[in-house]
C-alpha cells in the first residue's frame, strides 16, 4: 500500500508527503533501510499531545456540567489503545503501515499498540501539515463514523469482540460488506466478520439497516459462538 492509497482511503491530502510517509513507518522497517529512514515514534510523541488536546476540547464543550474527575475518566478511555486501534481498523490502517517482514509475519499490522501509535503519528503529521483544525476534524469525523458513544462505546459488541481477541493474542477481526438489499431509503446491509483462529477462519454474518448496525450484529454473533466453544 502507498501514501497515495492512504490518502484515497481517508480523503486526506498532505502537502508534505514525507510527513505522512514517516507517520506510516514502523521502527522495525526504518532500521532495516540503508541509509536509515525516519520512523513514526517522534510523530507519535507529538500526536499524543495533539490527541489529548482534541479530546479535552471535545469533552469540555460537550459536558459543561461534568467535574474535572469525570472528564478525566472519559478522556482516559478515549486515548486508550483499544479505541485508537478500533478507529485505525475502520481505516484498514494496518495495510498501510510499513513494517519489516518479520514484524509483519508476527502480526504487527493487526497489533493494537502498533495501530494506536500510528493513529497518534498521523494526527501529529496532520497537525504539522495542515494545523490543529484539520487534525481535529479528521479525528472527530472518525469517532462519528464508527458511532462512538462517550459512555457506552467501550461496551459495544465490536469492542467486546476486539477485547476478547486481544486477550487471546489473536488478530483483530475483518469486516466486509457482502451485499445490500432493498430501495435506497430502506436498505438492509449484510456484513461478514471474520478472524483466524488456530489457522482456521471463523466468521459470522450480521444484518442491519446500516453498515454499522450490521457490523454490530455480526460481532455479537461471532463473539457468542467463540465464547460458547
Q: Is 7 a catalytic residue?
A: no
Catalytic-labelled residue, pool 81, 120, 129, 192: 120
- The per-residue pLDDT for range 76-97, each reduced to its tens digit, is 888 888 788 888 888 889 889 9
For the stretch 170-217, pLDDT in tens is: 888 889 999 998 887 778 889 999 988 766 668 999 888 778 788 888
Q: Identify the CA nearest to 27 among candidates 91, 118, 90.
A: 118
**Domain 157-228, CATH:** 3.30.160.20
Q: What is the pLDDT of residue 52?
A: 95
Q: Can you tell me the distance from the alpha carbon of 114 to that of 224, in angstroms, rounded to the nearest whole number?
A: 27
Express each pLDDT in 110-150 by its tens digit: 888 899 999 999 999 999 999 999 999 999 988 887 777 66
| Dist CA 21 CA 159 (whole Å) | 29
Each domain of the chain, given as residue ranges in start order, spans: 3-150, 157-228
How does pLDDT run across 101-121, given as a tens digit for each residue? 888 888 888 888 899 999 999
What does the alpha-carbon distance between residue 214 and residue 229 come to, in Å, rounded to a whole number? 23
For 194, the enclosing helix (H) or strand (E) is strand 188-197
Question: 3-150 in CATH: which number?
Answer: 1.10.1520.10
Output the nine-digit C-alpha cell for 153: 462505546
Q: What is the mean pLDDT of residues 57-83?
A: 87
Neighbouring-strand partners of residue 193: 175, 204
Element (H, E) at 222: helix 211-228
pLDDT interval class at 154 (50, 70, 90) = very low
Residue 6: which of 117, 100, 119 has the closest Cα?
119
Cα–Cα distance measured from residue 174 to residue 132, given in angstroms and rounded to the nearest whole number: 31
Q: How confident is residue 153, by pLDDT bands cut at 50, 70 and 90?
A: very low
Task: Pick the catalytic residue from 48, 66, 92, 150.
Answer: 48
CA distance 28 to 25: 8
Q: Does the annotation count 184 as an active-site position? A: no
Amino acid at each position: 500500500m502507498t501514501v497515495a492509497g492512504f490518502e484515497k482511503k481517508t480523503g486526506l491530502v498532505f502537502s508534505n508527503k514525507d510527513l505522512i510517509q514517516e507517520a506510516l513507518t514502523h521502527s522495525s522497517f526504518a532500521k532495516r533501510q540503508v541509509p536509515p529512514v525516519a520512523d513514526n515514534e517522534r510523530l507519535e510523541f507529538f500526536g499524543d499531545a495533539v490527541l489529548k488536546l482534541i479530546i479535552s476540547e471535545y469533552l469540555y464543550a460537550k459536558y459543561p456540567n461534568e467535574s474535572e474527575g469525570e472528564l478525566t475518566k472519559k478522556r482516559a478511555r478515549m486515548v486508550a489503545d483499544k479505541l485508537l486501534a478500533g478507529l485505525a481498523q475502520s481505516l484498514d490502517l494496518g495495510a498501510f503501515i510499513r513494517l519489516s517482514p518479520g514484524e509483519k509475519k508476527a502480526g504487527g499490522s493487526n497489533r493494537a499498540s502498533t495501530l494506536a501509535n500510528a493513529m497518534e503519528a498521523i494526527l501529529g503529521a496532520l497537525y504539522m501539515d495542515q494545523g490543529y483544525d484539520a487534525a481535529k476534524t479528521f479525528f472527530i469525523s472518525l469517532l462519528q463514523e464508527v458511532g462512538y458513544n462517550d459512555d457506552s462505546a467501550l461496551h459495544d459488541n465490536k469492542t467486546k469482540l476486539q477485547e476478547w481477541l486481544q486477550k487471546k493474542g489473536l488478530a483483530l477481526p475483518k469486516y466486509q460488506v457482502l451485499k445490500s438489499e432493498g430501495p435506497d431509503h430502506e436498505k438492509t446491509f449484510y456484513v461478514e466478520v471474520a478472524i483466524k483462529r488456530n489457522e482456521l477462519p471463523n466468521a459470522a454474518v450480521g444484518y442491519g439497516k446500516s453498515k454499522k448496525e450490521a457490523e454490530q450484529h455480526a460481532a455479537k454473533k461471532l463473539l457468542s459462538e467463540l465464547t460458547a466453544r
